[in-house]
Structure 1
């Protein structure tokens, strides 16, 4: 493998191909594809992309559901030397159109679900009717396959991943081959993945944890097993059926598994590595998972998409993790090698102990597709370019970080600054509810706190009485709603935007 090819993200698949040519590379339900077949298919699709009427596309969108096509489409896009842009086929047509335009995608790879959206998509955006569309599941492609994957340099963009951020407006983040080479170099150094492992793939392909699953598995020559929606009815049985050894998901999955009553001690015996990221990871959930998977390290990982998947990690230990953490949340851990972090206080001054987290280093992405989205987020300071995360953290003497909440989750109530994560923790600790989400809603010239909770029904009077033992009056929510489950977004994270919108509809004004 030449030096330039070795720097390409898709070189990791070639490593797995060499180790395990006849072994399963992808499993989706009962459908499997071997490494050798995936390689041949990706070369054929890459050839078709490069032979497109308008010439080689700058970016290729994979518009699909959970299917083998979606995985092979990402591989084919990279084999063609283009940028992969994974999109969910069930997104609203207007949102899909906006993302395709922003990414300058000139070609689409679609499965059956993606094909079913094309009419609606072109009706919404007639200018997209000229896109090259590959629907490989409908028949052979009448073009020559590539002889070998095309190389890529470290500055070339491998992925565009869209993140909604706090506003719900999609922003395309450009992750380069160089960004991802650094990340996966650390993963290779830290973890002993082999071809005998079996990786879960819980997140959709448009989320950065899916990038981690995919290319860790493929570099090891191990199978990647898509976690379908039905799996959550009995997650331990799903893990056992396929012998999954490596799990990565949002922490909300633990709550789903606990509510089924099947996440019992020893119920996940095959796991040896577990990663949770994307949300605050709570003590009780982590302890439940660790008891279910006693042979697994359970690792809290942190990092915004803009920093190429993760930048911090902390391995759970019941005594030390709970002694270090705050608000019932597991520490974020220490910064990954090669990076830098800044904590800035409310005055914008560097703090040694607490403030908003800024990050810099080799995993700092190439920015957003629209430079306007980066204003106030990608900033120069002290001669370096930084990403401003919007997360408030506290630094411990040993260098580990604790998550305190979002800077945009701080609300002013009666002139007092209230951290919503602290109110949520108090609800769980003081009232007997099993989980809580608190949002702030502007009402008149002030802000009212609205609490959503899971668990036994409690009267508002009793909830407020119990909270008064831990919180000052201005931090006690005025409104309460018991739910059976919290709404989740497509990546199984609690949908706080939906709850905030619901509360605003009920009480805002």
Structure 2
């Protein structure tokens, strides 16, 4: 008996195709593509990939923006039975080269910017076959023509086969490849169907770039329901309510930093986004004050804080905000991350490696856990073997609340020792954000004079550092007070609109000697 099955991801698109064939599958800019058109395009491109000179690829890079080529490329790779390896043309060339090599990419689907990156890589010695319909062929790269017979139907796969390869940052300075299997995605989206009442009438935002794991949620929840998907361009943040109204958006998913952007542009006026049914946030700690502000603008929306590292397939916990009960569960102003998905267990590990029933590093096992990194050397220190099972060590410090849910306290490595004080940077951020005139705050550390110092960046009203220090001194012990306060008009964001904490830490490390407020 064959163990081949329909891919859970392609099955979702086919379900949407059957349920709402007249609906838009994705709208990129002014161009709308309906389900049948995208399906036929993916079958055609998958046929081209199968007919490539070196045979059907095992891994297909998708080096695109959130463009039509990107969405068709993802589907085409899955239809061909290959692993999808989404990449970003804005990344440094060497980083992209490493990811292509580590994932053993056989072929690449590219749009204009992606093709330019591949040509640069070719000059550096890496020439991969590329499918780039409509783009000029200058002879730099071997091209895969879209000719011949399309596939009759998506290829069947095994649950143990890799569906996606996503890359996370590595402490060694090189990206770590995370394989997500078809079985992992099957479990995840089966639970998603039970958790959310998405329908063909919904319109989903997509704020995340395709190389970010949360982009999968938008795509395959929308397509599984026969709903439409709407990539959000950068200019839309200048008038989010206008974009919401134009696209009739009902489902929003982003990093919490988007709330700050919306507030700064005046988008969070009362009832500014009345059509929203779901507001989902992940990728960063979610503040209770931000939820209250967002929900005032979208009063008909259910807000959910969902959490999970890439290694656990998109998200593995969730908390739905209740104005009546959630505020009392918050710690340091942060919203709980909720309970684990069905079928998963967790442990809390103390710094000395002991188990705790209350607080510690979150370790998770279950059907959404990756089988391991592409490079086995990266597995060291990231997995725990206990009680006959393997657990993924998230590096996140959490606490168990009285109702059994989990609350995120910060990265395990964000708890630092400063002059003998054990300091949680999230607590400093919460205290500073509570000061009058301060909108948001980020705390980082830097080495100085043989010790560790705390540096904070804040937005809102610019004010003298001594005033801020005086206010913080009423909330924090002296040993926890920052040594430098830097005002910013806005925080730098990475490609997925999350606060770029690494860049802030680098800026702090490069500043002149410390200044202690008087």
With the length of structure 2 as denominator, give the TM-score of the two structures: 0.95
- Name the structure 2 match of 1:267: 272
Question: Partner of 2:15 in structure 1?
Answer: 15
Deviation digits for residues 70-120 of structure 1, max 9, x if unmatched?
A: 000000000000000111111111111111001100101011121222221
Deviation at 1:168, TM superposition (A): 5.8
Q: Does 1:135 align with 2:132?
A: yes
Of residues 344-353 and 149-158 in structure 1, the stretch that sits farther from structure 2 once superposed is 344-353
Q: Distance in 1 between matches of 2:396 and 2:64?
A: 32
Q: Do the aligned partners of 1:450 and 1:503 also contact (CA within 8 Å) in 2?
A: yes
Corresponding residue number in structure 2 for 1:397: 402
Distance 1:167 1:408, change over 3 A: farther
Structure 2 counterpart of 1:80: 80
Is the 2:65–2:210 contact (alpha carbons within 8 Å) kept by the matching residues of 1?
no
1:507 Cα deviation from its structure 2 partner = 4.8
How many Å separate the matches in 1 of 2:195 and 2:464?
49
Q: Name 1:178's counterpart in structure 2.
A: 183
Aligned match of 2:470: 465
Correspondence for 1:107: 107
Could you tell me how far apart the structure 2 residues matched to 1:168 and 1:213 are?
29
Cα separation, 1, equivalents of 2:172 and 2:268 = 34
Shift of 1:262: 2.1
Matched, 1:428 2:433: yes
Kindly indicate whether residue 423 of structure 2 is the aligned counterpart of residue 418 of structure 1. Answer: yes
Q: Spell out the pairing of 1:174-323 with structure 2 (5 A cutoff).
A: 174-323=179-328
Q: Secondary structure at the match of 2:8?
A: coil
Structure 2 counterparts to residues 324-473 of structure 1, below 5 A: 324-473=329-478
CA shift, 1:66, in A, is: 2.2
- In structure 2, relative to structure 1, the CA distance for the partners of 1:74 and 1:493 (3 Å cut) is same
Shift of 1:416: 1.6
Which residue in the other structure is 1:37 paired with?
A: 37
Greater CA drift, 140-149 or 196-205: 140-149
TM-score, L = length of structure 1: 0.96
**d(CA) in 2 for partners of 1:281, 1:482:** 22
Q: CA RMSD in A?
A: 1.6
Q: Distance in 2 between matches of 1:472 and 1:288?
A: 30
Counterpart of 1:161 in structure 2 is 166
Q: Distance in 1 between matches of 2:328 and 2:290?
A: 16
Assess if the C-alpha contact under 8 Å between 1:378 and 1:388 holds in 2.
yes
* Secondary structure in structure 1 of the residue aligned to 2:148: coil
Q: CA–CA distance in 2 between the matches of 1:206 and 1:176? A: 16
By how many angstroms is 1:9 displaced? 2.0
- Deviation of 1:508 after TM superposition, in Å, equals 7.9
Hey, what does 1:64 align to over in structure 2?
Answer: 64
- Pairwise CA distance, 1:258: 0.4
The residue that corresponds to 1:46 in the other structure is 46
Q: Please state how far the C-alpha of 1:166 moved relative to its aligned partner.
A: 6.2
1:171-224 deviation line (CA, Å, top 9, x unaligned): 111101100110100010111111111111110111111001100111111111
Native 8 Å contact 2:49 2:56 kept in 1: yes
Asked if the contact 2:189/2:221 (under 8 Å) is kept, the reply is: yes
8 A contact 2:163–2:182 mirrored in 1: yes
Distance 1:165 1:437, change over 3 A: farther
2:5–2:159: 8 Å Cα contact kept in structure 1?
Answer: no
The alignment partner of 1:36 has SS state of helix
Paired with 1:425 and 1:8, the residues of 2 have a C-alpha distance of: 41
**Is the contact made by 2:24 and 2:32 (CA closer than 8 Å) also made in structure 1?**
yes
Q: Which region of structure 1 is more displaced relative to structure 2, 312-321 or 386-395?
A: 312-321
Segments of 5+ residues of structure 1 without an aligned counterpart are none
Measured in 2, the distance between the counterparts of 1:296 and 1:4 equals 40
| Partner SS for 2:99 | helix
Q: Give the Å deviation of 1:138.
A: 3.5
Q: 1:172 to 1:22 in 2, by over 3 A?
A: same
Shift of 1:230: 1.0
Structure 2: where are the runs of 5+ without partners?
Answer: 137-144
Q: Distance in 1 between matches of 2:22 and 2:135?
A: 25
CA distance in 2 between counterparts of 1:112 and 1:499 reads 31
Change (3 A) 1:133 1:427: same
Q: 1:245, CA displacement in angstroms? A: 0.7
Q: Deviations over 1:425-465 (max 9, x none)?
A: 11112353111001010113210111100011111111111
The answer as to whether partners of 1:267 and 1:292 remain within 8 angstroms in 2 is: yes
In the alignment, the residues of structure 2 paired with residue 317 and residue 381 of structure 1 have an alpha-carbon distance, to the nearest angstrom, of 36
The Cα of 1:3 is off from its aligned counterpart by 8.2
